[in-house]
Chains A and B, each alone.
Chain A
Amino acid sequence: MSRKITRKASGWILDGNHAAAQGVKLSRVQVIAAYPITPQSPVTETLSEFVEGGKLDAEYIAVESEHSALAVCTSASMVGARTFTATSAHGLAYMHEMLHWAAGARLPVVLACVNRAMGAPWNVLNDQQDSISQRDTGWIQIYARNNQEIIDSVIQAYKIAESVYVPVMVCYDGYVLSHTEMPVDVPSQENVDRFLPPYKPHTILDPANPKNYNLVTLANPRVNAEGVLCHGYMELRYLLQEALQNSRETIIRAGQEFGELFGRSYANMFWEDRLDDADIVIVAMGSLAMEAIVAADMLREAGHKVGVLGLRVFRPFPKADVLKALKKSRLVVVFDKNISYGLEGATCSEIKSALYGSPINAVIRNFIVGLGGRDVKARELVAAVNKSLSSLKEGGLTQEYPEWLCAI
């Protein structure tokens, strides 16, 4: 059934996968290499249809594995083509080696991670263990709460990546968003072309001016043929960290420009909902940050002043911004759809590190929720906040280990 998408004046109705594919098309991506995996596969199918149907002038490479998908993208990006790939869970894990490589080579590849649980055992449903497990590979990570933010983030990802020469991962929840249709405003090609200048690679692959990239790089700095002292391995690595630290400005400026052109501002590292007068803050990421707003409503009706901090950019982690946002909080309840095994939810650790050394003396509670597609309802978030409130006195600032909302 060929899909003539109904288009009301202002918007379409798209699921997350189709929103991502539209974002790739509008960004005029030139090389796509992807391998099918549930729940990402409709992205690859939709892009194949665009390419074969003449709606997107791009090379679609049906690679034999995710490891090769990213290898194709890094080299195509090295040559100067704008590239895209998409994957989930074990596909992303299989790319791990190449994730490091792409960041080290400072290549602006954009990857859509349709968040799915990691095995063993097999589970195709949603949580964020897969992308969180890749937080140390040097990629910028942006999380979408709904399908509008997916298409908008894919387009902004190219602007950001190609400005700071750092690859960007746009993460959205498998099934909960990827397979759920909702209204999405699809920007016009003209406006996207205005927003997104052509990609100018920092690499030159020209026999007339031969350069070799990513050869063996020794520990210590070394002098080149012109007598200039060049980096050692550590210096190159430092520059990657510096680029991620400085990318905050680029991310916010890109979000601002996007707002001016498309009417939806992304000049932030996280979404704030009634934080100004909140002394209790819920922290969540992805679609759970939407459900958390409903929970905040229910808690406000019960007389609690609750706000929601919906994390958008997980890397670089916006420590200073979080610090500012939480300055009036006495209780921070962090919901993680991942777990750094042996410790706690990754978001919780990042929040604690942001508050360390600050005057904020908030109690922090961490709940592990929604792993492997376990449904998380607003009323369960409310119950967790109430439980944390009752443990305020004797609980101490933090607990040794997070609490799990499960049936163990």
Chain B
Amino acid sequence: MKTNAVNMTEKEYLLPGNRTCPGCALSLAYRHILKALEGQVIATVPASCLTVLHGMYPLTSVTVPCVNTPFASTAASATGLVAGLKALGREGLTVLAIAGDGGTHDIGIQALSAAAERQNDFLYICYDNEGYMNTGNQRSGSTPLGAISGTTPILGKQQNQKDITAIMEAHGIPYVATANASYPLDLYEKVKKARGVRGTRFIHVFTPCPPGWSFSFSDTIRIGKLAVETGWVILYEVEDGAFRLTSASESIAKKGNLRPLREYLMEQGRFKNITEEQINELQGWVNARWKRCLDRAVNL
């Protein structure tokens, strides 16, 4: 029976009154990730918004064990946790490495790539708000072309983001998926499935950021859905090489009602200086990637 809002476990692992901004998609995503893992987890978190969500000593707003680690070493830290647990013969816990896009696409990619090549047995989740939001929104490897940030203040970013999920798939790991905080049930199912898989697993979770992207914090869910409806985010999973579109992306593929990317871009202040040329370039990129997904999907 598919999980829904009514039958999903009541137990929460995120306590009220945490330090995230109002309308934070990370807070929403993390809530459902921990529910899907039933709290049977040791998390390792680098310097990031999630560190701030966890709170300030001597308090934390999260009821699972968590090991903070310097920015570049999330996957290495997770590897250490897995090795330690194995050495002590402790089983049944999922080691969850969870970092932002800066900590995954940029400073932490070396440690992540090595861990994936070693097939270290942990679940790595990248919550992607497309910029260094914890330090006030500087551009990252995931910031889109044309987006304003603290370090691309006037001209906007001149390069498009890297496709980290494709990079991770290229490591031949058993489970890779994309998810989106605006589709919590799809995220919940994917984390639950990933929990049962052995080896390195990677889930790329899209988490819109109200202050960073300049939209009002009541619109987080709407912006996240718009990203899928315009193809900026494609919800899929790749299990031992089999590519399957999921949730809204699957229904959009079947109905063929992808909406123009402009509708998504115009909702966000970070794109206020984006040029027509950049919009067209992004639309072309989205269309090409959407087509690749349609060709690969086994469930259409």
- CB–CB B153/A64 < 8 A: no
Name the segment of A32-40, A268-276, A311-319, A338-346 touching the other chain. A32-40
Report which of B68, B106, B154 forms a contact with A64, defined as CB distance below 8 A.
B106
Q: Which residue of A lies closest to B109 (CB)?
A: A64
- CB–CB A48/B152 < 8 A: yes
Chain B: minimal CB distance from A166 (Å): 28
Report which of A44, A60, A94 forms a contact with B72, defined as CB distance below 8 A.
A94
Give bound CA distance, A41 to B134, whole Å.
11
Report which of A48, A49, A62, A120 forms a contact with B68, defined as CB distance below 8 A.
A120
A90 contacts B by Cβ under 8 Å: yes
Give bound CA distance, A60 to B139, whole Å.
12
A52 contacts B by Cβ under 8 Å: yes
Interface size in chain A (residues, C-beta < 8 A): 22
- CB–CB B153/A49 < 8 A: yes
B236 contacts A by Cβ under 8 Å: no
A291 contacts B by Cβ under 8 Å: no
1/0 contact string of A71-98 vs chain B (CB within 8 Å): 0000000000000000000100010000
Residues of A within 8 A of B153 (CB): 45, 48-49, 52
Residues of B within 8 A of A90 (CB): 47, 70-71
Count, A-B residue pairs, CB within 8 A: 63
A65 contacts B by Cβ under 8 Å: yes
Residues of A within 8 A of B139 (CB): 62
Residues of B within 8 A of A121 (CB): 57, 68
- CB–CB B70/A52 < 8 A: no
B141 contacts A by Cβ under 8 Å: yes
Residues of A within 8 A of B275 (CB): none
- CB–CB B154/A122 < 8 A: no
B138 contacts A by Cβ under 8 Å: yes
- CB–CB B152/A52 < 8 A: yes
A53 contacts B by Cβ under 8 Å: yes
Residues of B within 8 A of A395 (CB): none
- CB–CB A65/B72 < 8 A: yes
1/0 contact string of A274-295 vs chain B (CB within 8 Å): 0000000000000000000000
Q: Which residue of B lies closest to A53 (CB)?
A: B154
Give bound CA distance, A37 to B150, whole Å.
12
Chain B: minimal CB distance from A83 (Å): 17
A259 contacts B by Cβ under 8 Å: no
- CB–CB A45/B151 < 8 A: yes
Report which of B51, B138, B141, B151 forms a contact with A122, defined as CB distance below 8 A.
B51
Residues of B within 8 A of A396 (CB): none
B107 contacts A by Cβ under 8 Å: yes
- CB–CB B71/A48 < 8 A: no
Chain B: minimal CB distance from A404 (Å): 19
Q: Which residue of B lies closest to A45 (CB)?
A: B150
Chain A: minimal CB distance from B242 (Å): 32
Report which of A45, A52, A65, A94 forms a contact with B138, defined as CB distance below 8 A.
A45
A197 contacts B by Cβ under 8 Å: no
B136 contacts A by Cβ under 8 Å: yes
Give bound CA distance, A122 to B57, whole Å.
9
1/0 contact string of B66-82 vs chain A (CB within 8 Å): 00101110000000000
Give bound CA distance, A35 to B109, whole Å.
15
Give bound CA distance, A62 to B51, whole Å.
23
Give bound CA distance, A121 to B154, whole Å.
36
- CB–CB A62/B107 < 8 A: no
Q: Contacts A64-B107, A90-B47: A36 and B141 contacting too (C-beta < 8 A)?
A: no
| 4 nearest A-B pairs in the assembled complex, by CB-CB distance | A64-B106, A45-B150, A65-B107, A36-B138
Q: Which residues of A contact B (CB under 8 A)?
A: 35-38, 41, 44-45, 48-49, 52-53, 60, 62, 64-65, 67, 90, 94, 119-122
Cβ contacts A to B, 15 pairs, < 8 Å: A36-B136, A36-B150, A38-B134, A41-B132, A45-B136, A45-B150, A49-B153, A60-B151, A62-B151, A64-B109, A64-B141, A65-B71, A90-B71, A94-B71, A119-B70
